[in-house]
Chain A
Amino acid sequence: MVADLGVRALDRSARGTPRLARAEGMLEPAWRCVTTVCSSHVRSTSALARTGPREAITGSQGPQGRDRRWAISRDRQQGTTCSVNLVKRKHNTCQSWQDYESHLATDDAHRNRKASKYLTMSKRRPSCMTDRIKYALTLATTLLSAGVLLSAPAPATAGEHAGAWKQRAANDFNGFKGRQALRTNPATVVGVGYVHASQVDVGAGGGDFVAIGTAKGRGVANCADQYSGSWTIYTDGILGGVYFCNDEKKNAYKAKTNPTFSIQYDYCPSASTDRWLLSFGGTLWRCLGTGQTGGHRVTAMLETTGASNVDRNIDVRFNNLRRRHQGANWVDFGAPGHHFSNLNYSVANPYNDQVDAFLTPLD
């Protein structure tokens, strides 16, 4: 069961990676900063406090209590579900609630008391205004645009996505490339699939897409189950409304590898014309034609598929990410929008060319 849709982001000014931040979180924290993400807008903590009666802060909204690092508040007056991202301030750096979570005692009651206390404290001591403003400014554009994701109905299936994306009204993306660092090799669970995907959504929303990545576990469509071995290179997409999936190379990469990928609209030798070229590990695997030559969104994400509601240990780092627009040169991926279909998964972009997507905490 999917707990909620939400958007959050680590402060890009935070030093180090989320993992480094977690280690630092072991030191004595000084809790100060709170950002609140609502269905279509960003509120400061004080704004949330002013909205009047709301349901109790809870910290275990997700399946099997795994959502505990999040405090979810429902604003009764506006009927709006808000995901409250609790962050701490230490050495002038705001870091995420998950860092706090990592060294808390494990019982939910204690966590909830902490969350309530923290919110109360923040309401009384709005001492991190600079950070709030910085958060608001940094996130306003992405969150306002991505906020609608929050209002969309939660997927009914167990398939879960967490990823970061760039979107352009000009529909002129024609390249997306980088590396995909595979950081886990999840245990086999029959009926569950694991996917690291990079994709270009072609044309307007609701249209076609092309993707390349690595997957293992449960197969889909023409991509076979693979419950043993390592990660398989696959391509998939939607053309003319019809989904397709191809296994390109089975058992291609083990954990701790960092292969390259690229999706770009260029000349395809086998077709003798321009096509979407899907490459992985330096090999061109597929030339695909779609209705349009430009895309409106590029995405790096993790995905789980299958009938299980249990969160899965999956962790991928997209690095050296670059994007290209029609008639322009490659540029860094930049500050993306984020999407979660389950708040147990985290997405961070600590650098302009990096997106980390992972289950937190990792098993």
Chain B
Amino acid sequence: MDASTKRSIAIFAVATIVGSLLIGIAAVSSRSQSSISGTQPACDEHRGTIVEVQDFTAYDEQRGKLPDTLLRPASVDEDDQGYDTTVPPSVSIDRIDGKSRQWAYSTGDGSSYQFFSTNPLPFNSSLWEFQAQGGIQLQFTPTRAAALSIADFRESLGPRATPVLIGRSEGIVVWADPDNPSGQRLHHAYWEDDEGLWSLQADMSAAQIVSSARIIACR
């Protein structure tokens, strides 16, 4: 066996070992990733602080929209059929964070909207009032009706979207801009499951809303 043959064998051996190591590392990494989002759902109360960016757009720095109307806005359309207050059992929630459901409805595309608070609120309460009194809004949009995925949200929102684990989903939490003159800033949590996209919105801390979202996702 001449020297060049020995050198070739050595190079082949080293390449094989290095390649095996790389494959092994990739496999471990893959399993690790899978274990985060697949086999070990995040269901526990979130402990510790969620670091969020502090930048936001104040209400008077927005062109904004017309103020939101009501907890239960009436239709202003002659041919609208009104609210379908039937929420599919698969997405129906009775209580969140000790607050009972006060109002809920579904729409034709399969989306559902549920509103929770400690005390019943008049239906002519504005959404501001509802949220200011600790109201929680839960939305579910079936995959077929969701215009964006969580990945889309993360891409669109950039650093305003903080990644968090919610159930089996790599969700996000957003410290929202105020959308009314009160300046109140809600936290939004978004996550996905096999059925669709979920959103939880309330005036609570990021850790609290993630914890509440995990209870829903793992129920």
Contacts and interface: CB of A to CB of B under 8 A. Distances in A.
Interface of A: 40, 141-142, 144-149, 151-153, 155-159, 161, 163, 165-172, 193, 195, 197, 199, 201, 203-207, 209, 211, 215, 220-221, 223, 234, 236, 238-243, 245, 265, 274-276, 289-294, 296-297, 299, 301, 303, 305-307, 326, 334-337, 339, 341
B161 interface: yes
Contacts of B116: none
A191 to B, nearest CB: 11
6 contacts: A145-B76, A152-B129, A171-B107, A197-B63, A289-B152, A293-B146
Contact of A167 (B62, B73, B156): B73
A265 B62 CA distance: 24
Contacts of B194: none
Contacts of B153: 239-240, 291
B156 A289 contact: yes
B5 interface: no
Contacts of B157: 239-240, 242
A161 B139 contact: no
B81 to A, nearest CB: 7
Contacts of A205: 68-71, 73, 127
B145 A293 contact: yes
Contact of A161 (B66, B107, B127, B177): B66
Nearest to B152: A289
Contacts of B59: 157, 159
Chain A CB within 10 A, most for which of B64, B127, B131? B64
A66 to B, nearest CB: 21
A299 B146 CA distance: 22
Contacts of B62: 220-221, 236, 243, 245
4 nearest A-B residue pairs (beta carbon)? A241-B176, A145-B74, A155-B181, A171-B107
A293 B67 CA distance: 21
A204 B174 contact: no
Contacts of A339: 66-67
B63 A165 contact: no
Contacts of A334: 77-78
Given A197-B63, A294-B108, 6 more contacts: A156-B181, A167-B73, A171-B107, A171-B111, A241-B174, A294-B111
A149 B139 contact: no
Interface string B68-102: 11110111111011111000000000000000000
